[in-house]
Structure 1
Amino acid sequence: MEHAFTGPSFTLGIEEELMIVDEQSHDLVNAIESLLEQAPSGTGIKPELMESVCEIATDPHPNTAAAGDQLRLLRRQVTDAAQQRGLTIGSAGTHPFAMWEDQRIVARPRYRDLISELRFVARQELIFGMHVHVGLDDPDKAIHVANGMRVHLPVLLALSANSPFWRADGTGLASTRMPIFRAFPRVGVPPSYRDWDDYAKEVGFMVEAGVMEDYTWLWYDVRPHPKLGTVEIRVCDAQTRVEHTLGLAALIQAMVRELAIHFEEGRHLGEYPWQMLDENKWLAARHGLEGELVDLPSSERVSTRTLARRLLDRLRDHAQDLGSAAELDGVEDILARGNGAARQVVVYEANHDLREVMSEIVKATAGDPEAP
């Protein structure tokens, strides 16, 4: 399998899946094609599976400060384009009261093929995530990093959980996006691979067997992306506040650097039972930061906030070396004031009004300092 793991290492790219909503009612609107007509040409503004979803993607950058400049610009550009059509933009892991039955599928071959293959499973996937790509300079190192990232996925999900409502109902989960996406094949915590050759062999077997077209049909929470020469982390819910997106991106970039150095020093990763990695991910989706995770490799349960704090403190020097330490303030804010799910629930509990929740999401997406 061809790859582009040639460096430079630790370059950072961020993708966000955003909601296109009516400016007054905050209902989702099937409007991506008209929005693309209004958006500046040549920008990182793209369609996704459904016409009510807009994806923005930065170029590769050396640090989160530079990536943040472009991400803020993209959010402004897509919001400006939407407002010319009486629309606006919101960002969260789910829309609180939208129905998937009302959403149209984008007229693109890949997405129509996806619907043809997965049917209901794809049609009901009305969810929004953020993906972070980090560049690496060696294919075996990329596999080592992807393997090592698996134990961190639950903490990242707990910090980013931002989808407590689904189809006009409270779900009791911090991240409803996680179990919805779990209906897809080839998702969740990935298997570990021995090295690049093992990965290429396993992917090649699946392609040869005809179960998928290529490796991009592996939708795992973390995956090597050979064409881009990155490791892509896909576990996070979309973030409402851009500073939270950048904080999580800075944390992920630092994780990748720590694991890359681990590989370069010839060290070996700990072995964790897949079922416990998956169990921790479930606990993170259910309780967010308010619960506990199993502190692997021990069987001790520890406060999720404690584990997140430990990880943040350990990785701060790596972020400093990468020029991304300032953006970790976004993670500090999540630990101090709650993740997006907790903030949505506070708004809802005031009046039990999901349109009020969506209104606050729109304000905070636009950077309103008064929004929760």
Structure 2
Amino acid sequence: MEPHFDGPNYTLGIEEELMILDGDTLDLSNSIEAMLEDAPPERVKPELMESVLEIATSPQPDTASAGRELRELRRLVSDTAAARGLAIGSAGTHPFAMWEQQRIVGRDRYRDLVSDLKFVARQEIIFGQHVHVGLDDADKAIHVANGMRIHLPVLLALSANSPFWRADATGLASTRTPIFRAFPRVGIPPTYDDWEDYAARIGFMVRSRVIEDYTYLWYDVRPHPALGTVEVRVMDSQTRIEHTLALTALIQAMVKELAEHFEAGKKLSKYPHQMIDENKWLAARHGLSGDLVDLPGTDRVRTLELARRLLDRLREHAQDLGSTAELEGIEDLLERGNGAARQRVVYEANHDLREVVAEIVAATAV
């Protein structure tokens, strides 16, 4: 496994998993092959289900550039969908879809995945946002990935955008989280001593033939040696693109802080894995409206307070990276609520989940 952490530091790539919908009924539509006919293959890709597509930016130097490309991609797939009687929506789950009605994409990787995981893969009709941040050193990437673990619950609370599942109000802010938890090799990752330790442990799994390569590790944060990035995967897909970019800016600032921590020769604090995982559960359950444990202490604090404290600490890094404007979207999430809270407001008016999906489609458009 040859690492390609060649830099420059802090370049960005954004991936969004989006819903393909019937333009009239707003049900999920098994239409990925029609969506791919005229699409650039590096930027618009299939996922496990035929009702899901992924858009992915090219590597970009900053959030403004990534945002411009992401808007172009959202417009491209929305226009392509409209021409075929379809629509595009972005959220962590489709509020009333049934996984039994979804077809698996006709690609070897996905068919093999279903063959290996059975029901666990078949019921995974969920949608996430992934952010890649480039780095120039493999050991630095391991340090950053280790350090990002403590921030994952706050990122999940900010991004939680899946309160409905199979036509049910689940009581969770991120229903996507426990659905994906059924997969192996997910959630809060282990820590690694350095690149050599990471490569040895992943190499053992490959030689044991339990995974084909490191891309079958679906942890909430992982080094991506082929791309030379650290990839953060804990977030639900965002309906509003300004929230996608705000989370991207926040993650980029986190990575910068941790990279500089590594460059200064400092050691990371140690946090109990089970308590980071417990915080992640609290974030999935309550989103921004609950509490998290203020690690390494035992006090519980309002999630909003913890997120605000983190935002204030990272503003200077965002300013250095030129992403102050995009970071303002975090203020909007803190003041007006995350996607889950906004979906609930729409639902409470008429208890109409199709109205919720219609609002998602309208807000997804750019």
Q: TM-score, normalised by structure 1?
A: 0.98
Aligned to 1:236: 235
Q: TM-score, normalised by structure 2?
A: 0.99
Distance 2:169 2:305 in 1: 27
Cα RMSD (Å) = 0.7
Residues 43 and 201 (structure 1), Cα distance of their counterparts in 2 relative to 1, 3 Å cut: closer
Deviation at 1:221, TM superposition (A): 0.1
Q: After superposition, where does 1:157-176 map in structure 2 within 5 Å?
A: 157-176=156-175
Aligned residue for 1:155, secondary structure, equals: helix
* Letter of the 1:340 counterpart: G
Deviation at 1:72, TM superposition (A): 0.2
Deviation at 1:323, TM superposition (A): 1.1
Runs of 4+ in 1 over 3 A off after TM superposition: none
Distance 2:316 2:72 in 1: 28
1:120 correspondence with 2:122: no
Aligned to 1:291: 290
Aligned residue for 2:73, secondary structure, equals: helix
1:18 correspondence with 2:21: no
Deviation at 1:270, TM superposition (A): 0.4
Distance 1:47 1:2 in 2: 26
Aligned to 1:8: 8
Q: After superposition, where does 1:1-372 map in structure 2 within 5 Å?
A: 1-39=1-39, 41-42=40-41, 44-367=43-366
Distance 2:309 2:112 in 1: 43
Distance 1:37 1:199 in 2: 39
Distance 2:20 2:93 in 1: 12
Q: Which structure 1 segments of 5+ residues have no match?
A: 368-372
Aligned residue for 1:239, secondary structure, equals: coil
Q: Percent identity?
A: 75
Distance 1:202 1:38 in 2: 41
Distance 1:172 1:281 in 2: 16
Aligned residue for 1:346, secondary structure, equals: helix
Distance 1:262 1:6 in 2: 19
Deviation at 1:22, TM superposition (A): 1.0
Deviates more, 1:43-52 or 1:11-20: 43-52
Does the aligned pair in 2 maintain the 1:62–1:322 contact within 8 Å? no
Distance 2:296 2:320 in 1: 28
Deviation at 1:6, TM superposition (A): 1.1
Deviation at 1:42, TM superposition (A): 5.0
Deviation at 1:324, TM superposition (A): 1.0
Aligned residue for 1:89, secondary structure, equals: strand
Question: How far does the alpha carbon of each residue in 1:142-193 deviate from its partner, in whole angstroms, 9 at most, with x for none?
Answer: 0000000000000000000000000000000000000000000000000000
Residues 243 and 182 (structure 1), Cα distance of their counterparts in 2 relative to 1, 3 Å cut: same
Aligned residue for 1:59, secondary structure, equals: coil
Deviation at 1:43, TM superposition (A): 5.3
Aligned residue for 1:98, secondary structure, equals: coil
Distance 1:335 1:193 in 2: 33
Deviation at 1:325, TM superposition (A): 1.2
Does the aligned pair in 2 maintain the 1:174–1:285 contact within 8 Å? yes
Deviation at 1:38, TM superposition (A): 3.9
Distance 1:42 1:158 in 2: 32
Distance 2:41 2:252 in 1: 26
Aligned residue for 2:37, secondary structure, equals: helix
Aligned residue for 2:91, secondary structure, equals: coil
Distance 1:76 1:255 in 2: 29
Aligned residue for 1:154, secondary structure, equals: helix
Distance 1:6 1:38 in 2: 33
Deviation at 1:253, TM superposition (A): 0.3
Q: Which structure 2 segments of 5+ residues have no match?
A: none
Question: How far does the alpha carbon of each residue in 1:300-323 deviate from its partner, in whole angstroms, 9 at most, with x for none?
Answer: 000000000011111011111111
Aligned residue for 1:96, secondary structure, equals: coil
Does the aligned pair in 2 maintain the 1:132–1:234 contact within 8 Å? yes
Does the aligned pair in 2 maintain the 1:178–1:285 contact within 8 Å? yes
* Letter of the 1:246 counterpart: L
Question: How far does the alpha carbon of each residue in 1:217-269 deviate from its partner, in whole angstroms, 9 at most, with x for none?
Answer: 00000000000000000000000000000000000000000000000000010
Question: How far does the alpha carbon of each residue in 1:28-62 deviate from its partner, in whole angstroms, 9 at most, with x for none?
Answer: 000000111143x3550111100000100001111
* Letter of the 1:237 counterpart: D
Distance 2:322 2:351 in 1: 42
* Letter of the 2:27 counterpart: D
* Letter of the 1:159 counterpart: L
Aligned residue for 2:358, secondary structure, equals: helix
Distance 2:260 2:155 in 1: 21
